[in-house]
Structure 1
Amino acid sequence: MTALIVIIAIIAIILIYFISVYNSFVKLRNQAEESSAGIDVHLKQRYDLIPNLVETVKGYAKHENETLEAVIKARNSAINATTMEAKDAANNALSGTLKSLFALSESYPELKANTNFLDLQKQLTEIEKGLLNARKYYNAIAKRLNEKVEMFPSNIVASMTGFKKLPYAEVEEAAKARVEVKF
């Protein structure tokens, strides 16, 4: 009788642990999805701002079609990306083309003084700050979930229920590099 009670107690403890760990995985997955959606909101704002920026630059930098086309092409690629890895790669490429676009303003003083251009540049800076914070939040959630997926004994629950590591939102080295514009 005592052995039966001990066995039932052990099974109950294991079941409660399993449920608790599973629920924490669900909570982290939902937070990751929420934070990923937050990143998407900032990216949409960024994508919506780019055509206005390109149109403003186009009026001043008529001979810079290659740069403007590269920005639009990178924007379209970023919009069509579906996975976190694809979004990161496409948005890193877009960041590089935007740097080239802003570097053009150095060669066109009228553009650099244009209030519309300056306002768009300020808006983009604010969006980039929000995007950075959204990525930091996502990465913090991904780190917590990834640790639980890998650490014993929660890794047993993760493998039994199909929870996997999440990719981090990363910035590629190419996107960090300075842009040189030569005329």
Structure 2
Amino acid sequence: MNKSLWIVIAVVALLVVFGISSYNGLVGMNENVNGKWSQIENMLQRRADLIPNLVSTVKGYAAHEQQAIAAVADARAKLAGAAGPAAKAQANGELNTALSRLLVVVENYPNLKADKNFRALMDELSGTENRIAVARKDYNDAVQGYNTKIRSFPTTIFAGMMGFGPKEYFRAEEGAKQVPQVKF
């Protein structure tokens, strides 16, 4: 065989090895993003599971505050039915707003704030909120790494052909940067 044929075979072999390596790397990064997203969903579900207990505790003290209690239940249902990072982020924002209103109601009931069950539920909810924040950060970091990889040369050439597209970030809802005003 002549020398140029060996060079062509070597170049093709290198491209095949690079393609396989790129594909496997992208599969791993894609699965990492999916795993991080599952962690967010896990924490959102944990919070959603705590909310009925919190609502039941508040109902016992504030039976006439049905509007705030109903808003929390509705927002929780929307979160459960949301699909994808954008929809989950929006539903999460609505639930945060409803919970804030419920906590304003709680401020009017000092005996409720002193209740052992209520305090335990609030501690659990607070811990879950922290876990959600960490999970969102981890997810967004994984999305950033993945999106950077699929947009970097030469991987971008193979990524499109292999069906790897950009992932969505979990973004804060509109108005999240504004401090809520609580008035009594």
By the TM > 0.5 criterion, same fold?
yes
- Contact 1:39–1:134 (CA under 8 A) maintained in structure 2: yes
Equivalent residue number for residue 60 of structure 2: 59
Question: How has the CA–CA distance of structure 1 residues 64 and 182 changed in structure 2, closer, same or farther, with 3 Å as cutoff?
Answer: farther
Within 5 Å, give how 1:145-160 maps onto structure 2.
145-160=146-161
- What amino acid is the match of 2:123? K
Structure 2 gaps of 5+ residues are none
- Cα distance in 2, alignment partners of residues 36 and 46 from structure 1: 15
TM-score (norm 2): 0.94
Q: CA RMSD in A?
A: 1.3
- Cα distance in 1, alignment partners of residues 174 and 96 from structure 2: 12
Secondary structure of the 1:164 match is coil
Q: State the aligned residue count.
A: 183
After superposition, give the CA deviation of every residue in 1:50-76 in whole Å (9 maximum; x if it has no partner).
011111111222232111111100000
- What amino acid is the match of 1:55? S
Percent of pairs with identical residues: 39
TM-score (norm 1): 0.94
Equivalent residue number for residue 30 of structure 1: 31
Within 5 Å, give how 1:1-80 maps onto structure 2.
1-80=2-81
- What amino acid is the match of 2:80? I
Equivalent residue number for residue 113 of structure 1: 114
After superposition, give the CA deviation of every residue in 1:121-144 in whole Å (9 maximum; x if it has no partner).
100011111111111111111111
- What amino acid is the match of 1:16? V
- Cα distance in 1, alignment partners of residues 145 and 74 from structure 2: 35
